[in-house]
Chain A
Amino acid sequence: MAHATTHTHDDAHHDEKPQGFLDRWVFTTNHKDIGTLYLVFSFIMFIIGGAMSGVIRLELFQPGLQWVAPEFFNQMTTMHALVMIFGGVMPAFVGLANWMIPLQIGAPDMALPRMNNWSFWILPFAFFLLLLTLVLPGGGPAGGWTLYPPLSLQGGYNVAFVIFAIHLMGISSIMGAINIIATILNMRAPGMDLLKMPLFTWTWLITAFLLIAVMPVLAGAVTMLLTDKFFGTSFFNAAGGGDPVMFQHIFWFFGHPEVYIMILPAFGIVSEIIPTFSRKPLFGYQAMVYATASIAFLSFIVWAHHMFTVGMPLGGQLYFMYATMLIAVPTGVKVFNWVATMWRGSMTFETPMLWSIAFVILFTIGGFSGLMLAIVPADYQYHDTYFVVAHFHYVLVTGSLFSIIAAVYYWWPKWTGRMYSEFWGKFHFWWTMVFVNLLFFPQHFLGLAGMPRRIPDYNVAFADFNMISSIGAFGMLITPFMMFVILWHSKKHGVKAEQVSWEGAKGLEWTVPSPAPHHTFTTPPKIDDRMLAHGDVAH
């Protein structure tokens, strides 16, 4: 009797979720719930940002101005980028980090749970401010997400709103990054040495350092814009002795590491999924870690390759070209390692694996066009054309976003305790593959034929590929809803998931039940090297 009571009490304690909505979600300090909040938030932002791209592609469906005025078109391109980067991709990765890092390293929660709550709850306010600009007099920011002065300073009220929103996003990111570093460095279970950590945790550790290094730089850059606009300074105003190009240097010193912030965790995710469905440990684990660190280091010394047409001295151009080309080496190592992981494996092609394989192929295509863009004489033609648009959408959509979707399908059984429909998961995948390539591949041709980016209307010669691209975009617009239905159906009616939901899955997260209880690893687990998803730990 006494024993039974204790047992019940234990169980209740083990899975005690706060009951009220406010207690459960608003005041939460639980890494899993905060992870869920981040993921839900980013899903909403993907839909908002996607709707904006819908406006863009609708206007570009055929030559002539049919739907929106050029001013509004520019607001859409600017906001689409800001929402997708800061509201979609980054929070999605932070959400995955919140959910999975404590589970992967055997920690009971994040190191700084209250700050974790704050990191998240800043974001809805930041994006409320940002989106509010669309209904202000003068409209939203229309100078591009890069906010180059003097153009960005021609905005009205929105300048202050956007800058304050960026400050808030930066605070959120920095706190999230501090939390991740503190968690990984201090809360690993005994025996989880740094070089035994799963790749997703490793890539996030490095990403967090990038965030801490560069978000303050962005904050500084936009603060200088703020004082130029409202307090009479002339940091970037040539007439007052300032330098508009300096903004670009400062911005891209943030901006280039930022693009790796959005891709390194993707590398980590794919490095978890490919070994699972190849039933074979990750090839070259240590090389993967070092390659990630090299890419992170190189990201700080290549920023001006975004600025080859500003009139840099020859020596500067040569240096930035060479340094940029070097990034291909560690990135190549990663791709080769993924292929080698598949080699002599025993592969199956469940939905997360399909997204991961597509990631490797399509991200590599984006990498190829990136390498082409590094070549200055050719970049004189590519720069600021649709070729660039195609490039960064291949790395960000079929790269980062594909990895996020892969991660959701991969860890969904662990989060919810339910399997999703493989058929519909694969349908979602193949549908997306068709339309995402219709959307972005023809943009290479448009750029090479001479179509500049960020224009609301174009010559009739560009009409055909623009129409194809828009058809691809319309097909893509329904994919988030498709995914929502698949996951909702799974949550309600899905088959119960096993503790180890995938045959080849390894790692600590698969040693806890599915769904993962509200609190896990309240006592540290014992690390068994054979349970790790990589076999390269002895070296």
Chain B
Amino acid sequence: MHQIGKSIAALAALAAALPAAAASPQPWQLNMTPGVTETAQAAYSMHMIMLWICVVIGVLVFGAMGVAMFRFRKSKGAVPDTTLVHSTKVEVIWTVVPVLILVVMAWPATKYLIAAADVRNAEMTVKITGYQWKWRYEILDYKGIEQPVNFVSSLDVDSNRARQGLKDPADVQVDGVNTYLLNVDRELVLPTDTKIRFVITADDVIHAWWVPALGWKQDAIPGFINEAWTNIREPGVYRGQCAELCGKDHGFMPIVVRAVPRAEFEQELVKMGGTLPDTAAIAQAPAAPASAPSSGR
């Protein structure tokens, strides 16, 4: 019960500071977050535009209903006007005006959608394969990568213990944030400020790869290779889940993306077993960004 009090306080705090909470879901979170990419910002903008248009229409329509229900009650002596059954003028108005409102909605939606579909000029390619119930990541293309990185990411040990009742889900935390069912054994480390292309497929049934902070989800379908892209603006840890029912452990195959500056990413890439043309230099300068051109390979 003490949680409810805490949660109400959190709710008040959240109303003020939502954007900061993009990385993982917050207790009592009410709205979508703008995320950390252009696509997520577009989704958020469209969501808010649609929400406010719907709120305004709702206030007008329900307001008219409310007025009707108070003014035209039999108990207040209202006499029905049985001739009010047809009006070509208002019927034309309430057909044409919604069409115009739809055009206003469709315009930005089209613009954002065209931008989201453009996967050209990516600097990096990551292949994602969905399995029952884990994800395989392969960093196939980044600055002429010589040894691609290839690993499998699945539910972390703590969450796995908690779902079997061996630990309280509330105690599954990383840095004070609850990560129950939103943490993995191996994170996908990605560079910030880099246009990254994803090619997404699956090996058994259909899955969907979704990190809300990145702003899209894409189905992973056996026999198909789908494309998507992202360009992460801010370093951080972004959590998501499989979003297409894929069997009994559908709720237990999370996704964690850790976005870091490019220099740090290159070090991580080497740690994960990848080799770049300038790997030697990166390895020699672990603390600083690789600045000197490498000689070796």
Contacts and interface: CB of A to CB of B under 8 A. Distances in A.
Interface in B152-179: 162-165, 168-170, 172, 178-179
Interface in B230-271: 240-252
Contacts of B181: 457-459
B39 to A, nearest CB: 7
A535 B87 CA distance: 12
Given A238-B222, A372-B54, A459-B181, A381 B43 contact: yes
Interface string A448-484: 1111111111111111110000000000000000000
Given A336-B94, A344-B84, A450 B206 contact: no
A361 B82 contact: no
Interface in B197-215: 204-206, 208, 210, 212, 215
Contacts of B102: 325-326, 328-329
Contact of B205 (A154, A347, A348, A361): A154
A452 B243 contact: yes
Contacts, number: 308
Interface stretch (A172-180, A307-315, A407-415, A492-500): A307-315
B27 A464 contact: yes
A244 B85 contact: no
Interface bracket on A? 35 or more
A365 B179 CA distance: 33
A459 B25 contact: yes
Interface residues of B, number: 103
Contacts of B95: 329, 332-333
Contacts of A43: none
Contacts of A336: 61, 90, 94
A150 B222 contact: yes
A449 B85 contact: no
Most buried by A among B74, B165, B249: B74
Contact of B223 (A64, A244, A349): A244
Contact of B249 (A70, A280, A462): A70
B68 to A, nearest CB: 4
B50 A322 contact: no
B58 interface: yes
B173 to A, nearest CB: 9
Interface string A297-341: 000000000000111001001100110011011001101100110
Contacts of B25: 449-451, 459, 461-462
B61 A310 contact: no
Nearest to B212: A450
A287 B69 CA distance: 23
Interface string A339-356: 110111111110000000
Contacts of A460: 27, 169-170, 172, 178, 180
B184 to A, nearest CB: 13
A284 B91 contact: yes
Interface in B36-52: 39-40, 42-44, 46-47, 50-51
Given A310-B219, A451-B25, A461-B27, A375 B84 contact: no
B98 to A, nearest CB: 5
B58 A333 contact: no
A280 B223 CA distance: 59
B80 A348 contact: no
Contacts of B249: 70
Given A377-B112, A452-B210, A65 B94 contact: no
Nearest to A146: B245
B82 A318 contact: no
Contacts of A535: 82-83, 85-86
Interface string B93-133: 01100110010011001101110110000000000000000
Contact of A148 (B82, B91, B206, B223): B206
Contacts of B61: 335-336, 339, 364
Given A280-B82, A450-B240, A460-B170, A357 B245 contact: no
Contact of B245 (A71, A74, A328, A343): A74
Interface string A244-287: 11000000000000000000000000000000001111111111
A377 B221 contact: no
Contacts of A375: 46-47, 50, 105, 109
A460 B25 CA distance: 9
Contacts of B75: 348
Given A151-B205, A285-B85, A465 B72 contact: no
B29 interface: yes
A340 B208 contact: no
Contacts of B210: 384, 452
A284 B44 CA distance: 38
Contacts of A385: 243
Given A309-B219, A335-B61, A376-B109, A343 B241 contact: no
Nearest to A153: B205
B218 interface: yes
A381 B212 contact: yes
A63 interface: yes
B85 A321 contact: no
B29 A449 contact: yes
A303 to B, nearest CB: 16
B80 A344 contact: yes
A534 B78 contact: no
A283 B88 CA distance: 11
A445 interface: yes
B113 to A, nearest CB: 5
Contact of B165 (A64, A148, A344, A383): A64
A141 to B, nearest CB: 12
A488 interface: no
Nearest to A150: B205
Nearest to A75: B248
Contacts of B47: 372, 375, 378, 381-382, 448
A150 B113 contact: no
Interface in A415-460: 445, 448-460
16 contacts: A70-B251, A71-B248, A150-B204, A151-B245, A280-B85, A283-B86, A329-B95, A332-B94, A333-B95, A345-B80, A346-B74, A377-B43, A381-B217, A448-B30, A448-B47, A460-B169
Given A311-B226, A368-B57, 14 more contacts: A151-B245, A238-B222, A284-B85, A284-B86, A346-B73, A348-B75, A361-B62, A365-B58, A377-B46, A380-B215, A450-B25, A450-B241, A455-B251, A534-B85
Closest 7 pairs (CB-CB, A-B): A238-B223, A455-B251, A311-B226, A449-B29, A535-B85, A368-B54, A380-B216
Interface of B: 3-4, 7, 24-32, 39-40, 42-44, 46-47, 50-51, 54, 57-58, 61-62, 64-65, 68-69, 72-75, 78-87, 90-91, 94-95, 98-99, 102, 105-106, 109-110, 112-114, 116-117, 162-165, 168-170, 172, 178-182, 204-206, 208, 210, 212, 215-219, 221-224, 226-227, 240-252
Interface of A: 63-65, 69-71, 74, 142-144, 148, 150-151, 154, 238-239, 242-245, 278-287, 309-311, 314, 317-318, 321-322, 325-326, 328-329, 332-333, 335-336, 339-340, 342-349, 357, 360-361, 364-365, 368, 371-372, 375-378, 380-385, 445, 448-465, 534-536, 539
